[in-house]
Amino acid sequence: MDIQEKFHKENKRYAKNLVEIEKYKLEYHRGIVYLEIQSANEKAYRAISLPAESITARVFAFDTGKGGYYEMEGEEVSEYVLGALNYIRKQQKDQKLIIIASSVMLIILVVLGIRISIRFMGDKNRSAFGSFFLSLLPLIWATQVLNSLNPDVYISSTLTLLSGLSVVASIVALIWGTVWVFRRASGEEEPTVLGLFGITVVTSLFSLVVLVDTYNKYY
């Protein structure tokens, strides 16, 4: 609560999640195992905490709209606990489906690239295939970011470095493939390899959009 007041004085609003108040070095009390800011705006906020030593479903809240700190009772406890459980289960199910779909897509792209490269590989097409396979690396990272990152995830220096390298790889893949387009020689394989270059453009732009948007949202 003290940190929320400090945050409000500096930003004219209350913090919406724990990441926003990370610089205040918030540490859980040894009796608290869970803390969540449910909602916040310029004038009010609501936060939930669960105690470690409780053997029953005791849930505590601080709600400026209800006069401050209090312990939930009766239906409010069951509604919160059941609602939170159902929300977590739905998130896990949706995330699993997204991970399966993105994995299938990546496997299809890899198999497609390998088959075309085996059939049409030559000195004049190496840049096209190189840029395609290079674009898959940031695509893999972008799908992981899209599936896993949220406002409550701590953005470490490692995550920042990987995202930066992925952005660079996407740009290099675009430039590499574009140079090949302007220098290519006509041939029977041209439509197929050009199609592969089109995929390179799409995957690289997708990775760039996802990573740049993620940077704007969470960094």
Domain edge (last residue) among 73, 100, 135 = 73
| Residues paired with 122 in a beta bridge | none
Give yes or no: residues 10 and 99 share one domain.
Answer: no
Whether 150 is in a domain gets the answer yes
Kindly tell me if the per-residue pLDDT of 47 is higher than 60.
Answer: yes
**Residue spans of alpha helices (H) in 66-189:** 75-120, 126-148, 157-183
* pLDDT tier at 173, thresholds 50, 70, 90: very high
pLDDT in tens, 3-24: 888 899 999 999 988 888 888 8
Q: Of 141, 134, 118, 105, nearest to 197 (Cα)?
A: 134
Domain edge (last residue) among 41, 73, 105 = 73
Whether 82 is in a domain gets the answer no
Tokens 């209350």 — which residue? Answer: 14
Whether 157 is in a domain gets the answer yes
Give yes or no: residues 132 and 171 share one domain.
Answer: yes
Contact status, residue 163 vs residue 137, Cβ threshold 8 Å: no
pLDDT the model gives residue 165: 92
pLDDT the model gives residue 171: 94
Tokens 């990546």 — which residue? Answer: 106
pLDDT the model gives residue 200: 92
| Number of domains within the chain | 2
Range of the domain at 200: 87-218
Give yes or no: residues 125 and 27 share one domain.
Answer: no
pLDDT in tens, 69-119: 777 777 776 666 666 666 667 777 777 887 888 889 889 999 988 888 888
Give yes or no: residues 29 and 58 share one domain.
Answer: yes
Contact status, residue 193 vs residue 125, Cβ threshold 8 Å: yes
Give yes or no: residues 52 and 93 share one domain.
Answer: no
pLDDT in tens, 160-169: 888 889 999 9
Share of the chain above pLDDT 90, in %: 18
Give yes or no: residues 190 and 133 share one domain.
Answer: yes
What are the C-alpha distances in Å from 69 to residues 59, 74, 93?
11, 17, 34
Residues 6, 11, 16, 17, CA torsion sign: negative
Give yes or no: residues 128 and 183 share one domain.
Answer: yes
